[in-house]
A and B are shown apart, each in its own frame.
Chain A
Amino acid sequence: MKTIMKQDFLNLFKNKPIMMYLVVYPPLLILVTGFVFQNLFDQNILSSYDYYGVTMLVFLTTATVIILPELMFGSHVKYANFRIIYSPVSREKMYLSKIIVAFIVPYILLSTYVLIFNYFGIVNYGGNQVLNLIFIEFFLLLFSITFGGAFCVLVKNEDLSTKVLNLVVNILAAISGVFFPIYILGKNIAKISEYSPISMVINTIYEVIYDNNFSSFIPTIVVLVGFSALFILLIHINYHPEKYGKE
């Protein structure tokens, strides 16, 4: 399992676009949105950097759905996977090591950015209580990563599923609460969106940062963990690397 993980780490680091997505994009996006939307916010309560710092973090975390499919079935590993399935390694170890790698790298990078932005006061991620946010980020990332994997094993086409996921995440972001408060779209839509895990997370983060209200902290985490467990179960049932090398 260690060997598989080591190789997957290397694969991920060598994948320039994904690394760029994780290293360059987060600070760029947070700074650009914060700068561009300055006028929309009254500085007394929160600045545009504080608002978009949180929503963009959530957006970037959901956008990590594409990483696990790439590691599980990407073109470099398709044939390597064949070798692994012939060796005496259990299937669980194979996908678990990929999930762990796909999880650790973004988590470390995103958390580092959260700590840096928080430390220098660019974005209010909760000041001294920033660890709460990093804690909830843990579960949101787990949710996104396993969601990507589950979607991919269901569609059975790595190429197509990453593309669809990418497009869907971006369109949803453009029309949902990530770029502007969801209530602009009317109360009914806002009510519906409150049930989506993403907006649950955003709400919980704001409640924790600004109202010191932890009432939805545990329920949100329970929901995220529940979904993640379901997705891992789907991966467990459907992950058969031998079916992905035909092309």
Chain B
Amino acid sequence: MIVKNNLYRMLKEKSYLVLAVLIIPITIFIAVYVATMAPTDLTIGVIGSESFKDTNGVSFDKLSEDDHSISDLIRGKYDAYIIEKNGTYRVETSKGNGLKKQIESFLKNTQEQKTGSIQKVTIYSTSLNLLSLALMIFSLILYKYYFDERRGINKRIIESTISSSRYVLQHVLTVFITMLIPAVIATLILFPLFEIKLKFAYLFTVSLIVCFSSSFGIVLSSFMKKNQGALLVGTMLTVITSLLSGSLFSIVSNDFIDKLQIILPQKYIGILGQNIDQNANLSISSIIMIAVIVVIFLVISIWKNDKLIRN
């Protein structure tokens, strides 16, 4: 009933529908595009020596003394500098020690050395992680109608025969549908375009992400007074938890972070993505963990809404 009404309202006020139809496919497009990007060659700036020739995976740029700028190094224009003075080489890089040692041993051997390790497939996991970042924020936007009803309509609805749990679940369902349909259609269209194999497991994980994002949205919305506020706080939480989960970018590992990651759903989404990349079966425990988090979120928001309406 509420689902029908909400969808009807969405059709009437087209801007939100347009947003869903535009932004979700664009996000998937960007996510896939970034994920299919081939890892680039190492670029090394050479100062004061002419003896380097481009080899497999490494290209050398000859630079003069004046071009030796540290900001280029930091921005990643050059991965490292090799500076020759009186026959000795000095390596300068801003990236971790691994690269420096690699280049130093390369200089010692002057044999061709493969810098790129075995190329890993990460298309599915990268795109899933980016998608979950975007959908978590986007679901907060879609809870507009929930906030519109806060002014009193919600009380009227609850005083009818609908229980507060059904009320909350119907709002979640609306958001779920509005995000799932564009996401699935966009995946079905875009994946063949990029010549990526479409997998059922991928679509399943997408729907799991949509499910999680909609429950994340409702739990935050229940605790905030205004949609704007929920959006801002939600963005902060999303960005920080995504960083900490380490699924999008590899991060430092220590005890504290390892323990923290147990409760971060993005971690499990990352694991599922890796499973799809490696053609393995989806890890059941990750699916269960995400499901548990979704249920906890739903229970909290039902409880909170019940309290809100009673007062």
Interface positions of A (Cβ within 8 A of B): 15-18, 20-21, 24-25, 28-29, 32-33, 35-42, 44-46, 51, 66, 70, 74-75, 157, 159-160, 162-164, 166-167, 170-171, 174-175, 177, 179-187, 190, 202-203, 206-207, 209-211, 213
Contact = CB atoms under 8 A, between A and B. Distances in A.
Contact of A45 (B37, B70, B138, B250): B70
Interface of B: 15-16, 19, 23, 27, 30, 34, 37-38, 40, 43, 69-71, 73-77, 92-97, 99-100, 130, 133-134, 137-138, 141, 144, 224, 226-233, 235-236, 238-240, 243-244, 246, 248-252, 257
A213 B69 CA distance: 9
Nearest to A160: B15
A180 B249 contact: yes
Given A175-B34, A190-B77, A33 B243 contact: yes
A187 B40 contact: yes
A227 B165 CA distance: 50
Nearest to A74: B228
A16 B74 CA distance: 36
Contacts of B97: 42
Given A171-B30, A190-B77, A183 B15 contact: no
A21 B40 contact: no
Contact of B252 (A35, A181, A203): A35
B252 A167 contact: no
Query: Sorted from nearest, which 5 A-B pairs have the closest CB atoms?
Result: A181-B76, A17-B229, A183-B76, A206-B71, A210-B70
Contacts of B99: 42
B204 to A, nearest CB: 24
A167 B94 CA distance: 31
A182 B40 CA distance: 11
A171 B231 CA distance: 14
A40 B71 CA distance: 16
Contact of B37 (A44, A75, A179, A186): A186
A109 to B, nearest CB: 15
A32 B30 CA distance: 26
11 contacts: A17-B224, A28-B236, A29-B240, A37-B251, A41-B96, A44-B92, A51-B94, A163-B231, A167-B141, A179-B248, A180-B76
